[in-house]
Amino acid sequence: MTENLGVLGKKTPRRSGVERVVNAPLPTVYGKFEAVGYMDHDRGDEQVALVYGDVGTEGVLTRLHSECLTGDAFGSQHCECGDQLDSALRAVVAEGSGIVVYLRGHEGRGIGLLAKLRAMALQAEGLDTVEANLALGLPVDARDYRVAAEMLRDLGVRSVRLMSNNPRKREALEQHGVQVAEQVPLLIPPCENNITYLRTKRERLDHHLPHLDAVAHLS
């Protein structure tokens, strides 16, 4: 923990790590969740976990959802993010309990909104999502899941059933001390606008997307 000079020149400790700030009921179209708000003092990001029911400690149905303004709020068909968020929220309600961790600071796999839009413009010109990031001099995936693991531990969760097609999420959680008892596929039917993007995620980012084999007719 580092120190800053506060008022009157006195040294005040700088907070680090993840701090739970607030619990609030959040009725939604899916069901009544509890929104648990956190501050990540290391990055300065505000984070939230949506908790449904009595989640317990082991094998908790969980989604780590990376912030995606274009998909989550605007219904973009460039990706499947909005549909995945919708499916995850429905899944935990159907299960009777579960957690959706909404990870801010993850826009565009961690490169930010404007950089993501620049990458999308390059993809419209023919580059794939990996090539576009690299052409901008940016990492292919800059996301950090440390905060998600800390939030889950604060909620008392020791192991999860992780709703994800991305093996790197599983690896990251386990590296940060949260066991993954099962990886649960979260497969969204592709459309003409996102099939190339999804194929790139499967072929170049190792996402498990077996359902794409059935839609070879999409260009």
Tell me the per-residue pLDDT of 158-188, one tens digit each, with 9 for 90 and over: 999 999 999 999 999 999 999 999 999 999 9
158 tagged catalytic: no
Region 7-16 average pLDDT:
61
pLDDT more than 90, % of the chain: 88
| Residue 16: per-residue pLDDT | 74
Can you tell me the distance from the alpha carbon of 156 to that of 196, in angstroms, rounded to the nearest whole number? 39
| Residue 13: per-residue pLDDT | 64
The active-site residue, picked from 45, 141, 144, 154, is 141
Give me 117's structure tokens: 């839009």
| Residue 132: per-residue pLDDT | 97
Can you tell me the distance from the alpha carbon of 48 to that of 207, in angstroms, rounded to the nearest whole number? 25
Give the distance from CA 2 to its chain's centroid. Answer: 29
| Residue 93: per-residue pLDDT | 98
The region of weakest confidence among 11-15, 87-91, 101-105, 134-138 is 11-15
Higher pLDDT, 217 or 81: 81
| Residue 218: per-residue pLDDT | 60
* 116 burial type by CB count under 10 A (0-12 exposed, 13-18 middle, 19+ buried): buried
Helix axes 146-154, 167-175, angle to 10 degrees: 60
* pLDDT tens-digit map of 149-160: 999 999 999 999
Whole-model pTM: value is: 0.90
141 tagged catalytic: yes
pLDDT class for 1, splitting at 50, 70, 90? very low
Can you tell me the distance from the alpha carbon of 185 to that of 189, in angstroms, rounded to the nearest whole number? 12
Q: What is the mean pLDDT of the chain?
A: 92
Termini Cα distance of the chain: 52
Beta strand extents in 28-74 (DSSP E only) = 32-40, 45-52, 60-66
Decide if pLDDT at 14 tops 70: no
8 Å CB contact between 107 and 68 = yes
Can you tell me the distance from the alpha carbon of 127 to that of 119, in angstroms, rounded to the nearest whole number? 9
The active-site residue, picked from 63, 109, 118, 143, is 143
Region 31-47 average pLDDT:
97
Higher pLDDT, 138 or 14: 138
Give the chain's count of helices (H) and strands (E).
8, 9
Decide if pLDDT at 35 tops 60: yes
| Residue 216: per-residue pLDDT | 62
